[in-house]
A = this chain, B = another copy of it.
């Protein structure tokens, strides 16, 4: 559609006719070079434009200067959002290398605090970033100036576009402080994008807001490798986690209300209320029809049900002791770890013990991360099992009638969130399932959309939560299994700090001052990306890594230097992508549950065997009987050791992994064996981070978040 400067009047007119027939073009600016003004009849050109082409856009036929030379020489179609979208329009019709502007870093030494660096970079308007990576304006929903949601329809539009290279970043067994996976992920994309000029997307998890005000503070990478603006990244974002809180707690309220109403009403009264007479008619809602089908009742007329069918339909008969669905909050509220609910007189004595988890531990978060479409999410949200009936049947959210409402509450959350790095490369922030009792990886949808947008020559760098034994194993065997995607390269981040601790150094505790053995090694070193610890230490690590079979081992300094400090890593990743790979799942889904757990324990953790405790044995039987035996396994194990004991550092051996219990996330699609007790809602220390956090009412700047 781009016309040469020498285009004749006829050529211009022909192109306009083409545009007239393109319904996605709402308006255009025909920009004729000044020197063409006497060769081309402007009025004729003007009149060639179909009258409907300016309904909401801005149609203009001009001769003169159009300052942004890159807008094209001759004419630019406009969409309803204005003519700046024109540039974007041209790009999407020229798949290939992005025309993207990078943000130049002004590196300081010593490296300032994260917040000082974050504030020193002005983010590009996010609508511009969206256009630069080839998004159509209809596919983008702005949330302020620095965040946007992108629509899933992109996958369909770019269906025929081959995927880019898929790179996953993981780490060695960490210290409790984390060892820079996020920082390396961001540093690497800054290198591949701003320095190597390749199309590249980072896909990262949304952080939980609870810990931000507790011990952890904000995080979005660190140093000169960050997602900006940090405040937006750490607070609310576009409300996805809040939507999960709302959806999760609607299920919880529905469970207890249903048990209460069933306990206090006859079958007939229940049925009459569930299928009420309205305007002289009784009708099942579609969700109720689904339940009837599940029960094998092939009727749609409410008056046709037999008494037995009425009872089966109306009474879920939930065993209160079997409820596995917990309430959630995105707050570090330790006093909600175990509570008794239903103590008001209105609940007539139907009290029970319950608990709150942190929102990111909700199965709905795991569903969000593993779903592949709106329809698939609707299905997953419907088959989540919340309890067992007294007769041993799994009770789902669909049985409760709440599945549609959950989908409605999650309809915006399913769209990935677009942000950017310090150097102006694009980032998707989407989903952040708890890495303990869920799989700890960002969303499949963000990865899939990014792989389409970067195109076959581009790269998508996604991060797997926790260490390789947890995050990477689950990335391979759960996320890749559901997505159908296969990684081209794994980047394993190591730090001298973590290597030291696992080699026998003193214990590191989050929120406590670092023992001096570590303070002296301030920087992070990564492997194959290694960063400035002592020279000798780093050389040794790199040498040993390569000797152990790593494709390459590279020192990095992206924390101090941004993308420039990770160019060697970028080059190594690029080379590794070309190398052949033979990706295989660790286990087949069809083998027995216990065997799957054993394979993970032996091959990944180095255990001699597993031991199923009585409750776990019972669950193996129950889930096999209920038809959930084919699901992949998501181990709920400490990330601080390869074994089940957090203080066993290095590579422990000669241990038997005890499986205390097994739970099912049927909607998300995995079973999670509990190895020991997992804390599912953190607490606040005596002096939480919030003591330092404040807003300057003049500048509206957030202070103390980092």
Interchain residue pairs with CB less than 8 A apart (20): A34-B43, A60-B65, A61-B64, A143-B143, A144-B149, A236-B412, A246-B330, A249-B329, A253-B684, A254-B690, A256-B335, A257-B333, A257-B688, A286-B694, A327-B329, A334-B346, A337-B343, A344-B355, A401-B690, A403-B694
CB-based contact B142/A144 at 8 Å: yes
Tell me, in angstroms, the Cα distance from A605 to B335 when the chains sit together.
42
Task: Answer whether residue A268 sits at the interface, using C-beta atoms and an 8 A cutoff.
Answer: no
Tell me, in angstroms, the Cα distance from A458 to B683 when the chains sit together.
52
CB-based contact B63/A67 at 8 Å: no
Distance in angstroms from A63 CB to nearest chain B CB is 6
Residues of chain A touching chain B, judged by Cβ–Cβ distance below 8 Å, are: 27, 29, 31, 34, 42-43, 46, 54, 56, 58-68, 71, 80-85, 125, 127, 141-145, 149, 209, 213, 231, 235-236, 238-239, 242-243, 245-246, 249-250, 252-254, 256-257, 260-261, 265, 270, 273-278, 285-288, 327, 329-344, 346-347, 350, 353-355, 373-375, 378, 401-405, 407-409, 411-412, 513, 683-688, 690-695, 697, 700, 702-705
Residues in B whose Cβ lies below 8 Å from that of A64 = 42, 46, 60-63
Chain B's closest residue to A43 (CB) is B34
Contact of A141 among B58, B84, B144, B411 (CB under 8 A): B144
Residues in B whose Cβ lies below 8 Å from that of A374 = 695, 697, 700
What 10 A-B pairs have minimum CB-CB distances, sorted nearest first? A62-B62, A404-B694, A242-B242, A337-B344, A54-B67, A405-B690, A253-B333, A82-B82, A273-B686, A338-B344
Distance in angstroms from A434 CB to nearest chain B CB is 18
CB-based contact B274/A687 at 8 Å: yes
Distance in angstroms from A670 CB to nearest chain B CB is 23
CB-based contact B687/A334 at 8 Å: no
CB-based contact B335/A342 at 8 Å: yes
CB-based contact A335/B58 at 8 Å: no
Query: How many monomers of this protein are in the complex?
Result: 2
Tell me, in angstroms, the Cα distance from A127 to B209 when the chains sit together.
30
CB-based contact B339/A687 at 8 Å: no
Contact of A337 among B71, B243, B245, B346 (CB under 8 A): B346
Distance in angstroms from A43 CB to nearest chain B CB is 7
Tell me, in angstroms, the Cα distance from A402 to B340 when the chains sit together.
27
Residues in B whose Cβ lies below 8 Å from that of A278 = 513
Chain B's closest residue to A53 (CB) is B67
Contact of A209 among B141, B246, B286, B354 (CB under 8 A): B246
Tell me, in angstroms, the Cα distance from A326 to B346 when the chains sit together.
18
CB-based contact B408/A693 at 8 Å: yes
Contact of A343 among B145, B256, B353 (CB under 8 A): B353
Chain B's closest residue to A242 (CB) is B242
CB-based contact B331/A337 at 8 Å: no
Distance in angstroms from A209 CB to nearest chain B CB is 6
CB-based contact B84/A408 at 8 Å: no
Of residues A31, A54, A81, A231, which shows the largest number of chain B Cβ atoms within 10 Å of its Cβ? A81
Residues in B whose Cβ lies below 8 Å from that of A85 = 82
Say whether, besides A60-B62, A63-B64, A695-B404, A687 and B273 are in contact (CB < 8 Å): yes
